[in-house]
Amino acid sequence: MIVTGAVNMQFALCSSVNSDVEGYQQLVDLYYRAKQYSNITIHFSFDHINWFDANLCSVLGAILYLLKKENNLSFIVTRDEFLSKFEVLHRNGFFRVDGNCASDNRQTTLPFTQFSKNDKDGYIKYIDECIMNHKRMPELTESLRVKIKDDLIELMTNINFHSGTEDPFFICGQHYPRNGCLKLTITDVGIGFLPKFNEVTKGIVTTDVEAITWALKGKTTKQGVPGGLGIKNMHTYFNNFGGSFNIVTGKAFWSSGHEKSLESGFLLLSEHLPGSTINLYFKH
């Protein structure tokens, strides 16, 4: 996703970029700042970053994809400086040297991958091989394993139906041993939750917050077709078994770790995130 080469200007992220509202705000700011330019190559500097959640390669990759598509922007890094600080982004396949990623000898990553909306077989293979069989996935009963897999597949169905785009979606994950957490992040580059929910409710759902709440209740925009249960079921799983579940769409950031009721747990970004993101944090 990021390559080496000549440079026209430099952009940077600052300090720590975590899977929280402040981290998403930095990524949103990067998108809107870069969107002011076209047809140039930007040096993407990691010099001032002390930490970058590797699972957020899903979001960063989606943003860079959009900027390339919309504004013909290319991004480069200084290879040696980058690898000395963020070698994990080489192991997960986000940053490739001569087209190759490093071997994940630590077995902590869920590889950065993009899927076309029609590649259901490839996505299911990723679920089976990279997620469900990851050594840091929580121990699950067989029935619960099947249920989680079905819900992850339903998330893809929701993305394809709600995003309103033919563009790919992006996935990446990382195990964090200090807090015993396996983080998985799925990002699309579509129109977000709100437009479809607003349409199907005939104007009842009018904000990003209301759209997320609607989805968490298991509601669907697919007329006459069961849907929305992937999000509702994942919410139930994390309530019952620990971990955390986040959704970011439009300007709304929702986290199960912040909620006291279904209508709480929301924070707001200054600008709309392009597309939508779902974060799943499995505790083991």
Instruction: Return the pLDDT at 176.
Output: 94
- In this prediction the pTM is 0.91
Q: Which residues of the chain register pLDDT less than 50?
A: 2-7, 223-227
User: Residue 43 forms beta bridges with which residues?
Assistant: 10, 76
Question: Where would I find the beta strands (DSSP E) of the chain?
Answer: 9-12, 15-17, 41-45, 49-52, 74-76, 109-115, 169-176, 181-188, 244-255, 266-283
Instruction: Return the pLDDT at 226.
Output: 39
In this predicted model, what pLDDT tens digit does every residue of 146-159 receive, in sequence order? 999 999 999 888 88
Instruction: Return the pLDDT at 84.
Output: 81
Instruction: Return the pLDDT at 225.
Output: 39
Question: Any idea what the Cα angle at residue 57 is, between residues 273 and 129, rounded to 5°?
Answer: 120
Instruction: Return the pLDDT at 195.
Output: 92
Instruction: Return the pLDDT at 264.
Output: 62
The domain locations on the chain are 9-283
Helix, strand, coil shares of the chain as percentages rounded to 5? 40, 25, 35
Q: Which two tokens stand for residue 226?
A: 């069961």
Instruction: Return the pLDDT at 5.
Output: 46
Q: 9-283 domain in CATH 3.30.565.10?
A: yes
Residue 273 parent element (H or E): strand 266-283
Distance CA(193)–CA(205), nearest Å, equals 10
Distance CA(27)–CA(63), nearest Å, equals 8
